[in-house]
């Protein structure tokens, strides 16, 4: 069973909430649309549902699932799901998400209901031998009829850095580095990863200077990239070099400092050790490198003793 990667989910969901405008180009590319960049994008409520998942020791646990990206543009509804690996449950999860839409947008009259299904696609951050090119949900009916609800998957390993920038697929940039996970995590040859990150940094800066990215979008995209880097490196010798390419991560606002201090204080009150507190800091503060988290723990932890 593949390990869970909450940092990937956190980055995707944070981009959705803070920078939904950046997903318009993704919608256009995935679904063949031509929406203008300033089109109104409405994030739809996607209340959680309970599902059973297998844990590392083979037991079962119940947890709440929430769709990654359920939105409406005009009369069209779209679902984008970000996934590290195929875990065998994606098709049924997409079906469950689709029926969240049904509860909100079905129309009915006496004896008749119309059930709208969203357009969907799964974005696979990594590719394995099992990664499917399409996802299909087959509806079967008692009279023998079957209907396939199908969509092509997006596999980021198929995208070049030039294509991502040309099509302004900004939400893909933080996850691009995952294709070099083996080299980065094993402290192997990372020169290609350095070259690719440098390209993205320079292009993001250029597009910011030309007015295509706001200050917040530029800063946060760099921070999202660094979140994925720190997830992969897990404090190894490659972390500082790779994080510095994006210019470091800026976490200097008073609200951030208050949040960091609160996490450290609560962790110490309940008896968490330093490693557990560091883990919580990186889970809660998007883009916080491990070394920076250690600095905050040393600074605030001593004050609270």
Is 84 contained in some domain? yes
Task: Please indicate, yes or no, whether residues 107 and 150 belong to a single structural domain of this protein.
Answer: yes
Per-residue pLDDT, 86: 75
- By C-alpha distance, which of 125, 131, 132, 214 is closest to 171? 125
Domain of 111 in residue numbering reads as: 6-157
Q: Is the domain of 46 the same as that of 167?
A: no
Q: Is residue 271 a part of any domain in this protein? A: yes
Secondary structure (DSSP) of 185-244: HTT---HHHHHHHHHHHHHHHHHHHTTSS-HHHHHHHHHHHHHHHHHHHTT-THHHHHHH
Give yes or no for residue 130 having a pLDDT over 80.
Answer: yes
Query: Of the candidates 126, 141, 157, which is a domain's last residue?
Result: 157
Give mean pLDDT, residues 155-160. Answer: 95
Say if residues 127 and 109 touch (Cβ distance below 8 Å): no
Q: Compute the distance between CA of residue 158 and CA of residue 127 in angstroms, rounded to an integer.
A: 9
> Higher model confidence: residue 120 or residue 248?
120
Report the alpha-carbon distance of residue 21 to residue 17 in Å, rounded.
10
Indicate whether 164 and 89 sit together in one domain: no
Pick from 38-52, 133-147, 159-173: least confident: 38-52
Give the dihedral of Cα atoms 52, 86, 224, 64; nearest 10 deg. Answer: -10
Which tens digits make up the pLDDT trace of 50-73?
Answer: 344 444 444 444 344 444 578 889
pLDDT of residue 250: 44
- The mean per-residue pLDDT over the stretch 40-45 comes to 84
- Comparing 254 with 251, the larger pLDDT belongs to 254
Domain count, the chain: 3
Answer yes or no: is 189 within a domain: yes
Dist. CA 34–CA 37, nearest whole Å = 9
Q: Within a domain: residue 87?
A: yes
181 lies in a domain?
yes
Query: Does residue 194 share a domain with residue 125?
Result: no
If you average pLDDT over residues 123-147, what whole number do you get?
93
1 belongs to a structural domain: no
Q: Does residue 69 form part of some domain? A: yes
For the chain, the average pLDDT equals 83
Contacts of 213 (CB under 8 A, 6+ apart): 170, 204, 207, 221
* pTM given for the model: 0.74
In DSSP terms, 137 is beta-bridged to 149
Tell me the average pLDDT across 43-49.
62
Residues 153 and 165 grouped into a single domain: no
Same domain, 120 and 175: no
Looking at 202, 218, 245, the residue that finishes a domain is: 245
pLDDT tens figures, 196-207 = 999 999 999 999
Regarding whether 127 and 178 lie in a shared domain, the answer is: no
Is 35 a domain residue?
yes
pLDDT digits 0-9 by tens, 277-293: 988 887 777 556 677 78
Same structural domain for residues 235 and 219?
yes
**57 with 136, same domain?**
yes
Residues 55, 22 share a domain? yes
pLDDT per residue as tens digits for the range 86-97: 777 888 888 888
């Amino acid at each position: 069973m593949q390990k869970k990667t909450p940092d990937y989910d956190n980055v995707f969901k944070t981009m959705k909430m803070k920078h939904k405008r950046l997903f318009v180009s993704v919608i256009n590319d995935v679904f063949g649309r031509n929406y203008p960049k300033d089109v109104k994008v409405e994030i739809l409520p996607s209340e959680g549902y309970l599902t059973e998942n297998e844990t590392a020791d083979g037991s079962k646990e119940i947890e709440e699932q929430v769709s990654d990206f359920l939105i409406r543009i005009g009369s069209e509804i779209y679902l984008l799901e970000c996934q590290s690996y195929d875990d065998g449950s994606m098709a049924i999860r997409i079906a469950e998400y689709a029926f969240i839409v049904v509860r909100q947008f079905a129309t009915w009259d006496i004896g008749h209901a119309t059930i709208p299904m969203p357009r969907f696609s799964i974005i696979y951050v990594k590719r394995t031998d099992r990664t499917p090119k399409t996802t299909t949900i087959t509806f079967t009916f008692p009279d023998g009829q079957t209907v396939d609800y199908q969509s092509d998957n997006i596999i980021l390993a198929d995208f070049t850095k030039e294509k991502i920038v040309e099509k302004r697929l900004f939400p893909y940039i933080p996850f691009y580095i995952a294709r070099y996970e083996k080299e980065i995590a094993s402290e192997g040859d990372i020169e290609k990863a350095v070259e690719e990150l440098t390209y993205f940094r320079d292009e993001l800066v250029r597009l910011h200077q030309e007015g295509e990215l706001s200050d917040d979008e530029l800063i946060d995209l760099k921070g999202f990239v660094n979140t994925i880097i720190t997830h992969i490196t897990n404090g190894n010798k490659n972390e500082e070099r790779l994080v510095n390419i994006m210019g470091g991560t800026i976490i200097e606002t008073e609200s951030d400092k208050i949040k960091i201090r609160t996490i450290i204080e609560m962790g110490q009150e309940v008896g968490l050790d330093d490693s557990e507190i560091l883990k919580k800091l990186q889970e809660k503060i998007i883009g916080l490198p491990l070394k920076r988290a250690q600095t905050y723990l040393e600074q605030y932890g001593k004050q609270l003793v």
